[in-house]
Amino acid sequence: MHKKNTISNNQIKNLLITSVIGVGILSLPSNMASILDNDGWLAILVGGLLIVPLIFMVDRLFKMFPNKDIFQIGEEVLGRILFTILLIVIIIYTILTLAYAIRVFGEVIKGYLLDRTPIKVIIITMLLAACYLARAEIEVLGRMATMVYPILIGLIIFLVLLSIAEGDFTNILPVFNADFTLLPKGILISLFSYAGYEIILLAYTTSDNKKDALKYTLRGLFIVIGIYVITFFSTLSQLGVNQLKRRIWPTIAIANEVDLPGYFIENLDGIVLTLWVLIVYTTLGPILYTGGRALAYIFNTRSHDIFILPLIPLIYIVSIIPDNIISVYENMGIILGYMVIISAMAIPILIYLVALIKKRRRKA
Amino acid sequence: MKRFFFIIFLLPLLVGCWDKVEIEQRLFVTAIGIDLNHEKGEEKDKLTVTYQYPNISAIGKNAESGTSTFLLTANSSSVFQAGRQFMSRVPFPFHYKHLKVIILGEDILKEESLMRVVLDELNRDTKINKRVRILATDRTAKEILEAILGKEQRTEGTIYATVRDNTKTSSFTSKSLADLITDFDISGVTLVPKVSLDEEKNFVISGGAILKDYKFLDWLDANENKIINLINGNMVVDTIDVIYEGNLISYAITETTTNRNIKFNETITANIDITIEGYLQGYILDDKNTVSDNETVLSMEKTLEEEIMKVTRRTLGHLKDVKADLLGIGEHLSKFHPREWEKIEDQWDEVFADAKININVDVKMSRTGLTR
């Protein structure tokens, strides 16, 4: 069997999009509206634009160390001990994110579709399925992402069509009327929705055309920002700002409450959620894969797949700690908000800065 | 050996339908009536809840005879609690996904806290479609549902078929649960269609109930409701009757456009221009041509405008009396003049009662039908 260890830039783009978009898309419009009312889209936009310099930085980092992957670079720059400590932080973050995502996933599926299935069964089956994906190599993740990408885009187009047909676009008004001292808080929360972009740290070096990788990655990021902003506007136009704040998952609500002329379509939550399961699947897989790769580095093994299965019980236990859905969003969400900033943003920046300083010193 | 394990692992795939529920073994609740409980009983049981569900086996090609719908009533603390109480009386579980109509009795409309409880319960539930239509009645909801019993021809319910859209008449304004809550959020006032019974115990939907802050305020008649639909641009097709030179004219509306222009001075001035286009539906058959020249058309248009203005003035007076902004003026202000709106938001009731609302109606009779 021929095994190729590179993926195309298009797959990197799709991998970025499908890893970032996951459970957050259901609650993001409501969270943003609670903080910034009608101007929540502004926080989504600014939060996304803050990721742009990070992507440039990742690109520069890999150009500085050609033909090395992130683990080799980290070890060379920070030394094995410090880098291992940072990786442990990243593994904890991975476990927490997965626990959060799988719990929200379980709650949504239980609430809307499988009301008599115990949430444990939903969580464990989904984790095992994600485990199968995460045990594979990066090119399999890339292929999976390319398969799910059209479904995601189709879903978004569908939501837009619904809001054109049903929504009242004057609900978007008034613009720029919110209390802008709350904008930093909004941005902080919206950053959490961009967690998962760090998959490019692993995917970037496997690109078969490294020259264009930056272009594709940025394109992917802009598609993500676009999808989030569109989702915000379609939920806002359909529900109005007060109802949007009240709902936990407004994005499903607009699919559920379609009332087009002609009797045959209504209660579309089943269809939308079925497609959403795939989107969550391609979020869980890459994050789990990241955790496995980090563990493989720490224990110095050649393959990462042996670490995936042992992570599952840990994730499951963390996911059932919160007592209820409010606690999932409040407590876990806040902890994760900080964890994202540390592990997905601060650590790559640290590696880059130290590498830059070392390189300058060597030149001098 | 490998093949053996493969087959063993395939076995779980065969049991996909092990807990399936056949469609006849579900009771699809199509309408729920909610009234205040006047009988003495447990303190918590403040509601009288009536469920209506179709008899699935009496519908379709191989229909068995029997009544087409069933009704169940119980005194209960909440809408879903009633469903659980019914479980001892019905063979199968209820399904709420196809609930289409909720009828609120007059008594419950007057209890603000109970209204909030009931609406929250409906809004919070994951199964109920938030597009369920809400109706108010000046009788009890139970009476209305009993009146339809046995006359039902459709699975989803005759009442729902009547109110599901506004394309047939504008003498009432169809209102879904989601719209109702949005209205309360934005302006605190909403209009819900009124369903009543005539002498022969047939249901009639016309006019509406004004609700303000989750509480009943006043009834509106069908003509007032038409004007409100007209001002809000919801009027689709309707006819207006007016006496012109001793004979009745029927004027059918085909299209309306509304323009609002709201100004801030010391008081609020709202200019609303309404253009109505339509055709002559009926006048009188005479030996001569009755509508032969443009002047007749123009004077007919004028008579119609006067008639519409007369009802409009009455409706506006009524709305100002009860301080109910059903014209969406507050909503318009909050969207297009957010800064000024913040200042007057708290005393909006008084501001609305003092506001100057100028309505201009321009009737165009573009066609006169097949005859002159």
| Chain A residue with Cα closest to B333 | A174
Tell me which chain A residues have a C-beta less than 8 angstroms from the C-beta of B156.
263
What is the pLDDT at residue A284? 93
**B292 and B161 share one domain:** no
Report if residue B4 sits inside a domain.
no
Q: Nearest CA to CA, how far is B130 from chain A (Å)?
A: 6
Q: What is the distance between the alpha carbons of residues A16 and B104, in angstroms, rounded to a whole number?
A: 50
**Domain membership flag for residue B95:** yes
For residue range A31-50, list pLDDT tens digits in order.
999 888 888 899 999 999 99
Q: What is the DSSP letter of A329?
A: I
pLDDT band at B361 (very low <50, low <70, confident <90, very high): confident
Mutation target among A259, A264, A267 for the B interface, most CBs of B within 10 A: A259
Give whole-number Cα distances, A288 to A60, A89, B177, in Å. Answer: 26, 14, 42
B240-264: average pLDDT: 83
CB contact under 8 A, A112 and B126: yes
User: Smallest CA–CA separation between A336 and chain B, in Å?
Assistant: 27
The answer to whether residues B21 and B97 touch, using CB atoms and an 8 Å cutoff, is: no
* Cross-chain residue pair B130–A174, CB shorter than 8 Å: no
B192 and B278: one domain? no
DSSP letters, B316-346, are HHHHHHHT--TTSHHHHHHHH-HHHHHHHST
> Which residue, B157, B186, B220, sits at the end of a domain?
B220
The answer to whether residues B97 and B166 belong to one domain is yes
User: In A, what residues contact B, Cβ < 8 A?
Assistant: 111-112, 115, 170-171, 173-174, 177, 239-243, 246, 253, 256-259, 261, 263, 266-267
- In a 10 Å sphere around its CB, with 0-12 CB exposed, 13-18 middle and 19+ buried, how is residue A131 labelled? buried
In a domain, B2, yes or no: no
DSSP codes joined into one string, A74-143: HHHHH-HHHHHHHHHHHHHHHHHHHHHHHHHHHHHHHHHT-TTS-HHHHHHHHHHHHHHHHTS-HHHHHH
Between B298 and B57, the higher pLDDT residue? B298
Range(s) of the domain holding residue B100:
14-220
User: What residues in A contact B123, CB-CB < 8 Å?
Assistant: 246
Summary mean pLDDT of chain A: 88
Indicate if B203 and B327 belong to the same structural domain.
no
* CA–CA dist A186, A42 (Å, integer): 9
pLDDT digits (tens, 9 = 90+) for A317-332: 999 988 888 888 888 8
Quick one: B118 and B238 in the same domain? no
Q: What per-residue confidence (pLDDT) applies to B165?
A: 65
What pLDDT was estimated at residue A48? 92
Is pLDDT above 60 for A2? Answer: no
- Say if residue A262's pLDDT is above 60: no
Among the partner residues A170, A243, A266, nearest to B178 by beta-carbon distance: A243
- pLDDT tens digits, residue range B338-359? 888 888 888 888 888 888 888 8
Same domain for B244 and B212: no
Q: How far is B247 from chain A (nearest CA, A)?
A: 39
B323 assigned to some structural domain: yes
With a threshold of 0.90, tell me whether the complex ipTM lies above it: no
Tell me, yes or no, whether B81 and B197 share the same domain: yes
Give contacts of A38 with chain B, Cβ < 8 Å.
Answer: none
Q: Which residue among A240, A258, A261 sits closest to B165, beta carbon to beta carbon? A: A261
Distance from A254 to chain B by nearest Cα, in Å? 10
**Which of A227-236, A346-355, B61-70, B251-260 has the weakest average pLDDT?**
B61-70
Element housing B30 (H / E): none
Four-point Cα dihedral A282, A284, A285, A287, nearest 10: 120
pLDDT of the residue at B243: 84
Asked whether the beta carbons of residue A239 and residue B178 sit closer than 8 angstroms, the reply is: yes
B130–A253 CB contact, under 8 Å: yes
The b/e string for B200-233 (b: 16+ C-beta within 10 A; e otherwise) is eeebebbbbbbbbebebbebbbbbbbbbbbbbbe
Average pLDDT over residues A68-89: 90
8 Å CB contact of B185 and A173: no
Residues of B with CB under 8 A from a CB of A: 97-98, 123, 126-127, 129-131, 156, 165, 176, 178, 181-182, 185-186, 334-336, 338-339
User: What confidence category does residue B167 fall into, taking pLDDT thresholds of 50, 70 and 90?
Assistant: low
Question: Which pLDDT score, from 0 to 100, does residue A127 have?
Answer: 93
Local structure of A352: helix, strand or coil: helix
Q: Give yes or no: residues B289 and B306 share one domain.
A: yes
B214: left (phi over 0), alpha (psi -120 to 50) or beta: left
Q: Model confidence at A182, in pLDDT bands (50, 70, 90)? A: confident
Q: What percentage of chain B exceeds 70 in pLDDT?
A: 91
pLDDT band at A1 (very low <50, low <70, confident <90, very high): very low
Is the pLDDT at B100 greater than 60? The verdict is yes
Report all structural domains of chain A as residue ranges with CATH numbers, in order of start: 9-77+104-288 (1.20.1740.10)
| The pLDDT of residue A18 | 93
Same domain, B285 and B308: yes
The Cα B103–Cα B32 span in angstroms is 6
**pLDDT of A215 higher than 50:** yes
Spatial separation of the C-alpha atoms in residues B207 and B193, rounded to whole Å: 6
> Is A259 in Cβ contact with B335 (below 8 Å)?
no
Q: What is the total residue count of chain A?
A: 364
Dump pLDDT digits (tens) for A137-159: 888 999 999 999 999 999 999 88
| Cis before A174 (ω within 30) | yes
- Count of A-B CB contacts under 8 Å: 46
Q: Per-residue pLDDT for B155 more than 60?
A: no
Look at chain B and report how many structural domains it folds into. Answer: 2
Q: How confident is the model at residue A287 (pLDDT cuts 50, 70, 90)?
A: very high
Average pLDDT estimate for B86-112: 87
Contact between B182 and A240 using a beta-carbon 8 Å cutoff: yes
Residue A357 to residue B32: CA distance in whole angstroms: 71
User: In 3D, which of A183, A198, A161 has the Cα closest to residue A15?
Assistant: A198
* Residue A117: φ, ψ to 5°: -85, 135
Judged by CB atoms closer than 8 Å, whether chains meet at B182 and A243 is answered as: yes
pLDDT score of B42 more than 80: no
Last residue of a domain, one of B178, B202, B220: B220
Same domain for B227 and B204: no
Mean pLDDT for the stretch of residues A279-284? 92
Q: What is the DSSP letter of B105?
A: -
**B212 shares its domain with B269:** no
When CB atoms are compared, the residue of B126, B131, B185 closest to A257 is: B131
| B321 belongs to a structural domain | yes
What's the pLDDT score for residue A122? 92
Instruction: Note the pLDDT of residue B59.
Output: 64
Together in a domain, B105 and B135? yes
Q: Of B156, B176, B185, which is closest to A242 when you measure between CB atoms?
A: B185
In a domain, B3, yes or no: no
CATH number reported for the structural domain that contains residue B319 in this entry: 3.30.300.210
Contact between A170 and B181 using a beta-carbon 8 Å cutoff: no
Given B176, B178, B336, which is nearest A173 (Cβ)? B336
Instruction: Report yes or no on B6 lying in a domain.
Output: no
Q: Which residue of B has its CA nearest to A108?
A: B126
Residue B156: which pLDDT band, with cuts at 50, 70 and 90?
Answer: low
Residue range B216-250, pLDDT digits in tens? 888 988 888 888 888 887 776 778 888 887 788 88
What one-letter code names the amino acid at B282?
Answer: G
CA-based nearest distance B323→chain A, Å: 23
Q: What's residue A52's pLDDT?
A: 92
Nearest C-alpha of chain B: how many angstroms from A38?
A: 10
Q: How far is CA B331 from CA A37, A75, B182, B261, B319, in A?
A: 16, 60, 11, 13, 16
The last residue of one of the domains, among B220, B248, B278, is B220
Contacts of B131 in chain A (CB under 8 A): 257-259, 266
Report if residue B108 sits inside a domain.
yes
- Per CB-CB distance under 8 Å, the chain A contacts of B130 are 253, 256-257
